Chain A
Amino acid sequence: MEGPWLRFALRVWAVGILLFLFIPIGLVIVYAFNISTIQSWPIPGVTLKWFGQTWQDPEVRRALLLSVEAGLLATAVALVLGSMAAFAIHRFQFFGREVISFALVLPLALPGIITGMSLNSFFAFNQITFSLWTIVVGHATFCIVIVYNNVLARLRRTSSSLMEAAMDLGASGWRSFVDVTFPLISTALVAGALLAFALSFDEVIVTTFTAGAQNTLPLWIFGAIRLGQRLPEVNVVVFFVILITIVPVVIASRLTGGGAAGRVEAVAAAEEV
């Protein structure tokens, strides 16, 4: 019913928004190849030399290692706790179920500074010194939600009759879980893990409050941009971080048929329970 002019105008608008969304990302990727140490446009020439130099930088390496360690540990914690919670919420009706499912998304719905500041006072109060583990605790708190939602969404879509059939055929609860339920939810687990890792790998705000003097990769980027130092290396790291955060998400959405649940869906799902 929209007239041809309106359709045309809407199409132009849509193209405009897409350009607005993607030009900055494309641009920052181009800068990674900038031959000059001055970040101006257009870049005077193209080089790969910064890639080697960045890779050799011990500070970048340490930050990368810490980010990977924190991401893997937070993802592992999230996988175990998040999927267990999803099973419980899916299988059982109990008092306070809605409250729990709502409370679980708070770390994603509340501003990051609240989570960060809260955990910071928690660690200060208990006189816990900052370490890899305080970062892991901070990240796992919101990663749990991502895994929880992906597993819960998958459980809702799988029929419980398969599990019941396995048990009617004499499989124990554990056996039917291993042979029936687990294969059905395994891709949701992988997708949840990838998204959780991507989220952890990119986190800045909660990390600044839980890392103390340590640098994760985003904290290193943050510091370097603030001081305006080593920008050619920042360009390369940023290029690399874009890849690291986008690739898992693309794989995750393939695994879940386009329905991988990120932040928006996570909060939405909590309202539906």
Chain B
Amino acid sequence: MTVGALARERPAGRVTRVQALLWRRPWMRAALLLGPGLTWFVVIYLASLVLLLITAFWQINPFTTAIERVWNIDNFRTLVTDGTYRLIILRTIGLAAAVTITDAVLAFPFAYYMARVASRRVQTALFAAVLLPLWASYLARVYAWILILNHDGVLNWSLLLLHLPPASLGYTNWAMWIVFSYIWLPFMIIPTYAALERIPPSYLEAAADLGARQGRVTWDVILPLALPGIVAGSIFTFSLTLGDYVTPLLVGGAGSSFIGNVVYGNVGIAHNIPFAAALAVVPVAVMALYLVGARRLGAFEAM
């Protein structure tokens, strides 16, 4: 074999050797595949989350608004002692809970109809119909409700047709409650439907054979079995409401600030990033507690 032929063969040989090496050592292939994504994730996302937590324990110089890396818990102390912030935190959590309950009440009969009454074809169509609004732009759906709740909007026009007095829901906490319930409803319907669909019909027949009426069956058999699904849905409705600030800004009134609004204001206007970070830790802590509770109720198996 000439030297030239050897040289020509070498690149192919090298590729083969690399391939062989990767084949013999699967962990290397795993590392190569997972490496870039994981690096991105750890270096950017997880590092950011940790940094957020650390920043919360720093403070700013009140004159220059530069961040001073002095460890203290003043930010958290302000959150606990200042009545305004306490009210905002309670309002956010309270509304998130109200939205979650509303969505559960709206979703359950609908999911029940999907899972147990509708034909297979209707079931598929309804599933798509529920998912579609979820993807239609979030802002578009908030804006739609601004138009509806407007003084001259569809709501008051319909009330007028029914000879009822006009409502002024725009820019109130009620408006936020309606809009949040509307926007996150599909997140509640889907897991509830999934849980209901998995209940074996034989359970219900057994209950009926033992003499239970429809109401009793629903209360004692269906509801407990659907509960993990409802809790799974509530993780979304609760978490998404908790972290929102766009809806409160657009449809809420003067007294409708959410945790998110104060965070946003402290980043954009006040430049107090440590305080914003401390406030942002609140929803994380609330969600962590919520997830622990949800896990106990079996929500993760239901998703």
Q: Closest residue of chain A to B122, judged by CB?
A: A14
In the bound complex, what is the Cα–Cα distance between A137 and B112 (angstroms)? 41
A3 to B47, alpha carbons, bound, how many Å? 57
- Looking at chain B's contact residues, the main secondary structure is helix
Q: A10-B109, A218-B137 are in contact. Are A205 and B117 (CB under 8 A)?
A: no
Question: In the complex, which residues of chain B have a beta carbon less than 8 angstroms from the beta carbon of A198?
Answer: 135
B253 on interface, CB distance cutoff 8 Å? no
B287 at the interface (CB under 8 A from A): yes
Contact A209 B267 (CB under 8 A): yes
> Are B154 and A111 in contact, CB atoms less than 8 angstroms apart?
no
The answer to whether B140 touches A28 (Cβ under 8 A) is: yes
Q: Does A31 contact B (CB under 8 A)?
A: yes
Q: A100-B34, A111-B287, A271-B301 are in contact. List 10 more A-B contacts (CB 8 A).
A: A17-B189, A39-B152, A85-B37, A92-B30, A110-B284, A119-B45, A125-B51, A225-B143, A234-B143, A244-B137
Q: Which of B126, B143, B239 has the most CB of A within 10 A?
A: B143
Q: By the criterion CB–CB under 8 Å, are A121 and B143 in contact?
A: no
A162 in contact (CB, < 8 A): no
Asked if A24 and B148 make an inter-chain contact with CB atoms under 8 angstroms apart, the answer reads: yes
The answer to whether A172 touches B49, judged by C-beta atoms less than 8 angstroms apart, is no
What residues of A have a CB within 8 angstroms of the CB of B144 in the complex? 24-25, 27-28
Residues A111 and B152 in contact, CB atoms below 8 Å apart: no
- Asked if A107 and B45 make an inter-chain contact with CB atoms under 8 angstroms apart, the answer reads yes
Contact between A21 and B185, CB atoms less than 8 A apart: yes
- A46 is an interface residue with CB less than 8 A from chain B: no
B277 contacts A117, CB within 8 Å?
yes
Partner of B273, one of A114, A120, A245: A120
Measured CB to CB, the closest approach of chain B to A215, in angstroms, equals: 13
Binds B, one of A56-64, A76-84, A178-186: A76-84
Report which residue of B130, B132, B133, B136 has the largest number of chain A beta carbons within 10 angstroms of its beta carbon: B136
B26 touches A92 (CB 8 A): yes
Task: Evaluate contact between B29 and A92: CB separation under 8 angstroms.
Answer: yes
State how many angstroms separate the Cβ of B35 from the closest Cβ of chain A. Answer: 8
Complex Cα gap A44–B118 (Å): 40
Contact check, B30 vs A94: say whether CB atoms are below 8 A apart.
yes
Assess A121 versus B52: contact at CB under 8 Å? Given A40-B153, A41-B152.
Answer: yes
Find B239's partner among A10, A110, A225, A244 (CB 8 Å cutoff): A110
Given A1-B205, A111-B240, A117-B267, do A84 and B36 touch, yes or no (CB 8 Å)? yes
Residues of A within 8 A of B (CB): 1-3, 6-7, 9-11, 13-14, 17-18, 20-22, 24-25, 27-28, 31, 38-42, 77, 80-82, 84-85, 87-89, 91-92, 94, 100, 103-104, 106-107, 109-115, 117-122, 124-125, 137, 140-141, 144, 148, 172-174, 198, 202, 204-205, 208-209, 218, 221-222, 225-226, 234, 238, 241-242, 244-246, 249-250, 253, 258, 262-264, 267-268, 271
Given contacts A92-B27, A262-B131, whether A121 and B273 have CB atoms under 8 Å apart is yes
**A90 to chain B: closest residue by CB:** B33
| Size of interface on B: residues with Cβ below 8 Å to A | 102
**Nearest chain A CB to B147 CB, angstrom units:** 6
Interface centre among A14, A115, A202 (most CB of B within 10 A): A14
Bound: A144/B38 CA distance, A: 11
Question: From residue B150, how far is it (CB to closest CB) to chain A in Å?
Answer: 7
Interface of A, helix, strand, loop or mixed by DSSP: helix
A-B contacts, 30 of them at CB < 8 A, read A1-B204, A1-B217, A10-B117, A21-B130, A27-B147, A28-B147, A31-B147, A39-B150, A40-B152, A41-B147, A77-B40, A91-B26, A106-B45, A110-B239, A114-B280, A117-B277, A120-B267, A121-B52, A121-B273, A121-B277, A122-B44, A125-B55, A141-B44, A173-B19, A173-B22, A205-B244, A218-B138, A225-B146, A263-B187, A264-B190
The 4 closest A-B pairs by CB, nearest first: A111-B243, A40-B152, A118-B48, A24-B144
Complex: A221 Cα to B276 Cα, angstroms: 25
A85-B34 in contact (CB<8A): yes
Please provide the chain B residues from 246 to 303 with a CB less than 8 Å away from any CB of chain A in the complex.
246, 249-250, 259-260, 263-264, 267-268, 273, 276-277, 280, 283-284, 287, 300-301, 303
Q: From A172, A208, A249, give the contact of B264 (CB < 8 A).
A: A208
Contact, CB under 8 Å: B48 / A27: no
CA distance A253 to B240 in the complex (A): 24
Q: Are B136 and A118 in contact (CB under 8 A)?
A: no
Q: Is the CB of A114 within 8 A of B157?
A: no
| Nearest CB on A from B183, distance (A) | 10
Partner of B284, one of A40, A114, A225, A245: A114
Q: How far is the CB of A173 from chain B (nearest CB, A)?
A: 6
B168 within 8 A of A: no
CB <8 Å contact, A84 and B143: no
The answer to whether the Cβ of B71 comes within 8 Å of any Cβ in the partner chain is no
Residues of A within 8 A of B131 (CB): 249, 253, 262
- Shortest C-beta distance, B222 to chain A (Å), equals 11
Report chain A residues within 8 Å CB of B246: 204-205, 222
- A144 in contact with B40 (CB, 8 Å): yes
The answer to whether the Cβ of B85 comes within 8 Å of any Cβ in the partner chain is: no
Q: How far is the CB of A77 from chain B (nearest CB, A)?
A: 8
